[in-house]
Amino acid sequence: MRQDIARNYEEAKKQYASHGIDVDQALAELSDIKISIHCWQGDDVRGFLFRDQELSGGISVTGEYPGAASTPEELRADLTKAMSMIPGTHKVNLHAIYADTDESVDLDQLEPRHFQKWVDWAKEQGIGLDFNPTCFSHDKSKDGFTLSHPDPEIRQFWIDHCKASRRIGAYFGEQLGQTCVTNIWVPDGYKDVPVDRMAPRQRLKDALDEIFAEELNPAWNLDAVESKLFGIGSEAYVVGSHEFYMGYGMRNNKLICLDAGHFHPTEGIAGKLSSLALFTDGILLHVSRPMRWDSDHVVIMDDELLEIGRELVRNHLLPTTHIGLDFFDGSINRIAAWVIGTRNTIKALLRAKLEPTEKLKQAELDGDYTTRLALMEEFKSYPFGAVWDYYCEKMGVPVREEWLAEVKRYEQDVLLKR
């Protein structure tokens, strides 16, 4: 342990202790939290199954930064590199198009064996895996509809893909001894104002019922459903709206996935957690950063992220919340994007743990809103940075921006040679 880091930590600890905050305890708890790192930041959501397909489904990646992974080996190497700069042991979130196989296999035919190399790698790394059916970037999703498609044959294809995906998720869970969350997001929607908003939702509901009919061990696989307000090309109407999935998830005991970028431009998800938590057994988050019409910028330490962290900590929601990341930026080093977004998410949780929550709650209960505001504001400049530095050092990962030099080195040695 470097002396300056240890000294700053001891000083910071005293300041927090004067408000009854046990920093060592906070760090012990922090190290138990798993973030699900999304593989798709590493290659601009291309995957390996259909290399000539353009990204579609109302999401898009811009930027031509060199070095994107183009094979499973490269993507695993990049993820391993990124994880070596992120404190803690986490999970990796895969999409169906990331199957690692030489066979030419379509989405409805995928089996656990097509992901065996990912499972072997996850075992080596001691990490868990999460999963997602890929209901986009495919000839059968070109017209913007999948699970709610009016053509029963196309709809069945996507239903079969989602069924296959759940089995793959269960296999991950069984093999790795950690529950896999399999999250369904479909892009289905209309660019312009529809006449019939109901029929596509009825079809989506029926499709989901068929997908979830097979019982899987919940210790291995948990299902989640993800809503969206609008996408590129689905500005007027999205079949899987928030109300749709909130209703579906609650009635059918599915995790409801809240993506931070899937609501109105000024609407946050933090304030929704306490309500959802009262009526569900768990929540899936897609931590992301909306920017005007884009839902997927790299996560930074903004008010929304801090507020998500606070809501999870203050309301004791961490044990039942699955925290996943969802952003894709092709204009910067992709490993840096993972490191920045994941470290920020962990750091925001740490900052929340270093607030005098009980004191603040008491002030609020007493009607002493002056104390509430004063303390909340003063704590924004408490020395959480010293605690974060100590945590990184203790966990054996680069302190502060030291990780950047490592990323630059990796860029020279590996990425630019691709």
- Nearest residue (CB) to Zn ion, 238 versus 363: 238
Is residue 290 within 8 A of residue 297, CB to CB? The reply is yes
Size of the site for Zn ion (CB under 5 A): 3
Residue 132 within binding range of ligand RNT, rule CB under 6 A: yes
Q: Hey, what amino acid is at 305?
A: L
Q: Is 228 tagged catalytic?
A: yes
- Nearest residue (CB) to ligand RNT, 234 versus 357: 234
Q: Is 205 tagged catalytic?
A: no
- Round to whole Å and give the CA distance between 54 and 146: 17
Q: Is 262 annotated as a binding residue?
A: yes
Residue 322 within binding range of Zn ion, rule CB under 5 A: no
Considering 294, 311, 329, 355, which one is annotated as catalytic? 294
Residue 246 interacting entry, from Zn ion, ligand RNT, none, C-beta within 5 to 8 Å by type: none
Q: Is 188 tagged catalytic?
A: no
Considering 91, 262, 322, 353, which one is annotated as catalytic? 262
Residue 286 within binding range of Zn ion, rule CB under 5 A: yes
Q: Is 226 tagged catalytic?
A: yes
- Nearest residue (CB) to Zn ion, 292 versus 417: 292
The residue within the footprint of ligand RNT, chosen from 40, 172, 244, 245 (CB under 6 A), is 40
Is residue 298 within 8 A of residue 341, CB to CB? The reply is yes
Q: Is 413 tagged catalytic?
A: no
The residue within the footprint of ligand RNT, chosen from 37, 39, 59, 176 (CB under 6 A), is 59
Q: Minimum CB separation from Zn ion for residue 369, in Å?
A: 36
Q: Minimum CB separation from ligand RNT for residue 45, in Å?
A: 6
Q: Is 296 annotated as a binding residue?
A: yes
Q: Is 413 annotated as a binding residue?
A: no
Q: Is 326 tagged catalytic?
A: yes
- Round to whole Å and give the CA distance between 234 and 136: 13
Q: Is 262 tagged catalytic?
A: yes
**Would you tell me which residues interact with Zn ion (CB under 5 A)?**
259, 286, 326
Catalytic residues: 185, 226, 228, 259, 262, 286, 294, 296, 326
Residues of this chain that bind ligand RNT (CB under 6 A)? 40, 45, 59, 132, 185, 226, 228, 259, 286, 295, 326
Which residues fall in the annotated binding site for Mn(2+)? 262, 294, 296
